[in-house]
């Protein structure tokens, strides 16, 4: 399949990548380094294969661009993807390859500076912050009982809930309302919900449990979630426009809901994860943690990691729970190593290690079957971008 000694003479389309053997994917990464695509790599059997060419890192307030052709992409294919995004209510899309912006487009008065909540895409960012808190030894590890941070759980069956259960949507706590009222302490309200299942027994998409993790980071670190995020993540990688949406709550707490960000900051986060948690010469979160976070975390939903959605698995469950286990990959037109942060209103951060690709999208709901047809908007938008890659 890869007999030519010059990767620049090959056309590597999306179907080629999807059908490669482990050895062929490794060889592709090696050959492509010679073709000048700095940073191209693959994840094969959990091992990240990264070309050895010097990587480009966007500095704060700066981001180099590259023409699609110079990034090994077909300009008409990229235009087709952007047209599809614009036709489906997008307010902005950014495509990054080799660390540089290959395409960036905005609609309806949006600009590169416009921010909005990224809704449940915040979950994947929170997963990363949990990994950072573990490395800071503020959290002992994923097996630590969450009751160490939730006193009302101590001495009850809820003490069996671990940080890992909360990250994998297997806490067993009844799924409560995701709406937050300023006169309610959402942390305590969620903590008081009944335990419907033994921890680890059932997978159920549970946004209030994710929000408890945000507060657990605050309790563990002794800092506000904004301060912790700025120190550990957004500051080091230049996410200068982003912050948490938090409102005062009873008992001196805050109700923190979602992270608010623009597309360039979202793409910086995606690039950090693509590059195994490293930014320039700093390892901000361990590669080992990210490897776990972006692989199947439990047997109940193969396509779910630590608050990340995963492609390439034999089956998946949708957030709504409707339909039970569905056979097949989430996004069959995309490489199997793809993973993503997915939020309501189709807020997206897609990461494709084998193609050295990050794609971010803002806007209202695309109206294209976000929970049907194998998450069809994701498959259609990202599939178009992936098919535009030629080398």
Lowest mean pLDDT among 84-88, 189-193, 302-306, 323-327: 323-327
Lowest mean pLDDT among 23-32, 47-56, 290-299, 311-320: 23-32
Report the alpha-carbon distance of residue 53 to residue 57 in Å, rounded: 13
**φ and ψ at 318, to 5 degrees?**
-85, 155
3-state secondary structure of 248: strand
Could you give the count of Cα atoms lying within 13 Å of 138 in the half-sphere of its Cβ? 18
Task: Check residue 31 and give its pLDDT.
Answer: 36
User: Nearest to residue 280, comparing CAs of 65, 55, 81, 99?
Assistant: 55
Has this prediction a pTM greater than 0.85? yes
Task: Check residue 39 and give its pLDDT.
Answer: 41
Task: Check residue 11 and give its pLDDT.
Answer: 38
Report the alpha-carbon distance of residue 191 to residue 186 in Å, rounded: 8
Token pair for residue 328? 């097949």
User: Nearest to residue 215, comparing CAs of 261, 149, 259?
Assistant: 149
User: Nearest to residue 170, comparing CAs of 146, 131, 201?
Assistant: 201
| C-alpha to C-alpha distances, 175 to 24, 91, 164, 209, nearest whole angstrom | 44, 31, 17, 8
Task: Check residue 320 and give its pLDDT.
Answer: 87
In this predicted structure, the answer to whether residue 54 has a pLDDT above a threshold of 90 is: no
Q: What confidence tens digit (pLDDT) does each residue in 337-386 have?
A: 999 999 999 999 999 999 999 999 999 999 865 444 446 899 999 999 99
**Average pLDDT along the chain:** 88
Task: Check residue 210 and give its pLDDT.
Answer: 98
State the pairing for strand pair 92-97/243-248: unpaired
Report the alpha-carbon distance of residue 338 to residue 332 in Å, rounded: 10
Residues 6+ apart with CB under 8 A from 299: none
Report the alpha-carbon distance of residue 208 to residue 61 in Å, rounded: 34
Domains of the chain: 7-112+296-387 (no CATH), 121-259 (3.40.710.10)
């Amino acid at each position: 399949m890869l007999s030519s000694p010059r990767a620049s003479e090959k056309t590597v389309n999306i179907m080629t990548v999807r059908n490669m053997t482990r050895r062929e994917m490794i060889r592709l990464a090696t050959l492509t380094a010679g073709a000048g695509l700095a940073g191209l790599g693959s994840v094969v059997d959990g091992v990240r294969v990264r070309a050895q060419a010097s990587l480009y890192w966007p500095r704060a307030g700066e981001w180099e661009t590259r023409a699609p052709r110079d990034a090994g992409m077909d300009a008409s294919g990229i235009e087709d993807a952007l047209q599809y995004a614009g036709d489906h209510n997008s307010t902005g899309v950014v495509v990054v390859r080799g660390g540089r912006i290959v395409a960036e487009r905005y609609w309806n008065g949006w600009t590169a500076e416009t921010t909005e909540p990224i809704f449940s895409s915040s979950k994947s960012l929170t997963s990363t912050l949990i990994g950072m808190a573990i490395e800071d030894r503020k959290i002992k590890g994923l097996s630590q009982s969450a009751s160490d941070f939730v006193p009302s759980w101590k001495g009850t069956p809820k003490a069996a809930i671990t940080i890992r259960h909360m990250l994998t949507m297997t806490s067993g706590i009844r799924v409560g309302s995701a709406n937050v009222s300023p006169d309610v302490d959402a942390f305590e309200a969620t903590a008081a919900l009944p335990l419907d299942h033994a921890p680890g027994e059932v997978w159920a998409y549970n946004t209030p449990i994710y929000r408890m993790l945000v507060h657990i980071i605050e309790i563990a670190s002794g800092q506000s979630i904004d301060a912790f995020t700025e120190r550990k993540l957004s500051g080091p990688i230049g996410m200068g426009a982003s912050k948490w949406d938090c409102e005062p709550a009873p008992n001196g707490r805050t109700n923190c809901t979602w992270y608010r960000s623009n597309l360039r900051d979202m793409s910086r986060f995606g690039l950090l994860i693509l590059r195994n948690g490293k930014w320039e010469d700093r390892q901000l979160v361990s590669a080992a943690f990210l490897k776990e976070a972006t692989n199947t975390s439990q047997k109940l939903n193969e396509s779910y990691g630590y608050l990340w959605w995963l492609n390439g698995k034999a089956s998946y469950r949708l957030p709504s729970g409707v339909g039970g286990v569905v056979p097949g990959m989430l996004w069959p037109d995309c490489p199997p190593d793809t993973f993503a942060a997915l939020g309501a209103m189709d807020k997206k951060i897609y990461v494709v290690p084998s193609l050295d690709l990050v794609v971010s999208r803002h806007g209202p709901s695309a109206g294209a079957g976000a929970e049907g047809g194998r998450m069809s908007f994701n498959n259609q938008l990202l599939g178009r971008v992936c098919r535009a890659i030629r080398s």
